[in-house]
Amino acid sequence: MSDPERVAAVILAGGHGSRMGGADKGLIDYQGRPLVEWGLAALAPQVGEIVISANRNIERYAAYGYRVLPDTLPDYPGPLAASARRSGAAPVGRGTTGRRAAGDGGRRHAHPP
């Protein structure tokens, strides 16, 4: 098992939010709290640093006390762009193992057309 201090996690809260009706997926309420809070609570005991990748509501995400990496590409390109951005971020440093978590927990949600 990896040493938690040498593991970094990135919560992917960017993208169009198309599975969420266009809403900022990390801030959608689930059982009384935003999805990002569920991700932070699950990841915090397992990693040395958490970074949130987001493309809007940057200040709200920053209020959680973690570094926020804003998307640098136009039109909210989503998780692949966030992964590319993260690869250059080196959140914890050399020899760090990375972990990613979807801001919506990877769940698919049905929306009417």
Domain housing 50? 4-102
In a domain, 41, yes or no: yes
Which of 19-23, 39-43, 50-54 shows the lowest mean pLDDT across its residues? Answer: 19-23
Does residue 110 belong to any structural domain of this protein? no
Q: What is the pLDDT of residues 6-17, one digit of tens each?
A: 788 989 887 777
Position 35, amino acid = L
Using CA atoms, how far apart are residues 57 and 3, in angstroms rounded to an integer? 32
Q: Give the pLDDT score at 100.
A: 47
Residue 28's CATH number: 3.90.550.10
- For the chain, the domain total comes to 1
C-alpha to C-alpha distance for 64 and 11, rounded to whole angstroms:
12
Give the C-alpha distances (Å, rounded to integers) separating 84 from 61, 72, 80, 81.
20, 10, 6, 5
Residue 92 lies in a domain: yes
Sign, Cα dihedral of 60, 15, 35, 31: positive
pLDDT of the residue at 38: 96
The alpha-helical segments, DSSP class H, found in 1-113 are 35-43, 58-62, 79-87
Q: Is residue 112 part of a domain?
A: no
Give me the sheet containing 67-70, strands edge to edge.
Answer: 67-70, 49-54, 7-12, 97-102
